[in-house]
Amino acid sequence: MRLFCSFLLFISALAAESADWIWTGRYVVTMDPQRRVIENGAIAIRGERILAAGPKSEIEQRYQARQHLDRPDAILAPGLIDTHTHAAMSLFRGIADDLRLQEWLEHYIFPAEARNVTPEFVRWGTRLGCLEMLLSGTTTYTDMYYFEDVVAEATKEAGMRGVLGETIIGFPSPDAKSPADALAFTDRFLTRFHGDSLIVPAVAPHAIYTNSDETLKACRALANRHDAPLVIHLSETKHENDECMAKRHATPTQALDALGVFNGRTVAAHAVWVDEADLRILKLRGVGIAHCPSSNMKLASGIAPVTRMLALDLAVGLGPDGPAGSNNDLNMFEEMDLAAKLQKVTTGDPRSVPAEAAVEMATIRGARALGMEKEIGSLESGKRADLISIRLDRPNAVPLYNVYSQMVYALKGSDVEDVMVNGKLLVKDAQALTLNAAQIEAKAGEYRRRVQESLR
């Protein structure tokens, strides 16, 4: 009988499909169209793709894997998707706080950037940002900064996925003397990283108030020529809206639409001061929205009408914004928590943005905002193997009644234990495998001293 059982197991193993990995956990939060939450679940992975997600017993019977990651006290979830940040600005973390946006930009950030931002500054700042993001469960991030080719190199080195926008702005910047130079730089950047498995290069005009109409039109044309996204700040402050109304007799959304800026794949960050007519335009044009609750609160920019956006089924993702003054960290768990709570306060309705909707914004809806929902954002067969495990064996994680509520209101970025991107394990046991944390932190200390000296 024992021999017969062994023979059956042997035959079963021969019949099983091969996989590179099987991850198992107490819960698998798929974020698939059915929003399946699988208790005692598993995920099979081959190469860069997910083979299947399902009950552990079924996955282990169907697949034979070379490597296993067993987390019986964890949630397995899609990697979190950051739809707006400025990663290299992590080296300016805390340089100037508790200020209005225009004062912060004009009197602190723009001068500090002019004196300090070089390719190597960007490289180390991006490494620091990627380290923080990976350790807190972010697998894809959307960037807007300078020397974005270096940002791409550092992102690939970390193994992360990035939608990376080269900034175009109407005055001399660290990597371009003019908008024309910035457009030429961006053209080369888009060509270099076209079709990359991890990097989606993008065009990033800073905002309507920092670029001429001609530059904004040229940005859209360049993005469309390369089939690339365009990333832009939109209606972040009341001052921006008031100024636009005074000059153009139109809101920023209406003005950009009239210029044709939304005629193509677009991600608009903030969208705080938008009215019903603006929302109709954004819906019609399929613009992805990056909601940045921490930043909007810290800079007193206002509260984006996210409850209304979701009712209209806009593609709304979440972003921490820059880790220097407008937020100071890159923690997507914090953004989920604040996105839900902020809407409850402003609407006076505790049912606004329930926990599941907040997780959705950080995963599959965020993927929609980037135009990448067919590739990332959920744990489904054929999608990229971007996933995380989150510990449930800590005081803040017990007891557990609802996994979505736990993820949004109780769990923290520090509870992330493992991270995989594109089928490659990047974090294991809360330790980065592709980045040298001690070296990066030491380099950040060196840059702190240089930045301080430059501002004296």
- In a domain, residue 382? The reply is no
Pairing of strands 316-318, 288-291: parallel
Alpha carbon distances (Å) from 262 to 242, 268, 273, 373 = 21, 9, 17, 19
Q: Are residues 305 and 248 in the same domain?
A: yes
Distance of CA 335 to the CA centre of its chain: 11
Q: What are the structure tokens assigned to 194, written together? A: 């076209």
Task: Write down the pLDDT at residue 3.
Answer: 52
* Strand-by-strand arrangement of the 49-55 sheet: 49-55, 37-46, 17-29, 63-78, 387-391, 416-421, 424-428, 431-432
Max CA-CA distance within the chain? 87
Decide if 456 is inside a domain. no
Distances (CA, A) of 249 to 245, 269, 275, 280: 4, 22, 14, 18
For residues 391 and 298, membership in a common domain is answered with: no
**Do residue 347 and residue 277 come from a single domain?**
yes
pLDDT of residue 111: 87
CA 314 – CA 328 distance, rounded (Å)? 27
Number of domains making up the chain: 2
| Same domain flag for 306 and 261 | yes
**For 278-437, where are the E strands, in sequence order?**
288-291, 316-318, 387-391, 416-421, 424-428, 431-432
Cβ neighbours around 261 below 10 Å, total = 27
Alpha-carbon dihedral angle through residues 360, 365, 367, 373, given to the nearest 10 degrees:
110
391 phi and psi angles, rounded to 5 deg: -65, 140
> 85 in a domain, yes or no?
yes
Residue 429 belongs to some domain of the structure: no
Residue 455: both structure tokens together: 């501002």
282 with 315, same domain?
yes
* Position 380 in a domain: no
302: left (phi over 0), alpha (psi -120 to 50) or beta: left
190 and 318 both lie in a single domain: yes
CATH number at residue 36: 2.30.40.10
DSSP E strands: which ranges in 150-280? 161-168, 199-205, 230-234, 266-270
Distances (CA, A) of 275 to 308, 313, 347, 388: 10, 16, 15, 37
Judge if 26 and 122 occupy the same domain. Answer: no
Which distant-in-sequence residues (6+ apart) come within 8 Å of 429 by Cβ? 417, 418
Q: What is the pLDDT of residue 8?
A: 43
Whether residue 159 sits in one domain with residue 67: no
431 lies in some domain: no
Q: What is the per-residue pLDDT for 389? A: 98
Same domain, 157 and 189: yes
Same domain, residue pair 142 and 41 = no
Nearest Cα to Cα of residue 336 among 303, 370, 294: 294
Is 68 in a helix, a strand, or coil? Answer: strand
Residues 149 and 176 in one domain: yes
Residues of the domain holding 353: 80-369
> Per-block average pLDDT, block size 10, for the chain (456 residues)?
50 75 98 98 98 98 98 98 97 89 83 92 98 98 98 98 98 95 98 98 98 98 98 97 97 98 98 98 98 96 98 98 89 98 98 98 98 98 98 98 98 98 98 98 96 86
Dihedral over Cα of 112, 114, 115, 120: its sign? positive
> H helices of 249-304, where?
252-259, 276-285, 293-298
Antiparallel, parallel or unpaired: β 288-291 and 266-270? parallel
- Cα–Cα distance, 235 to 226 (Å, whole number): 26
* Domain presence at residue 275: yes
- Distance of alpha carbon 403 from alpha carbon 31, whole angstroms: 12
Residue 287 within a domain: yes
40's enclosing H/E stretch is strand 37-46
Domain CATH number, residue 274: 3.20.20.140
E strands, 106-180, are: 138-145, 161-168
* Same domain membership, residue 60 and residue 114: no
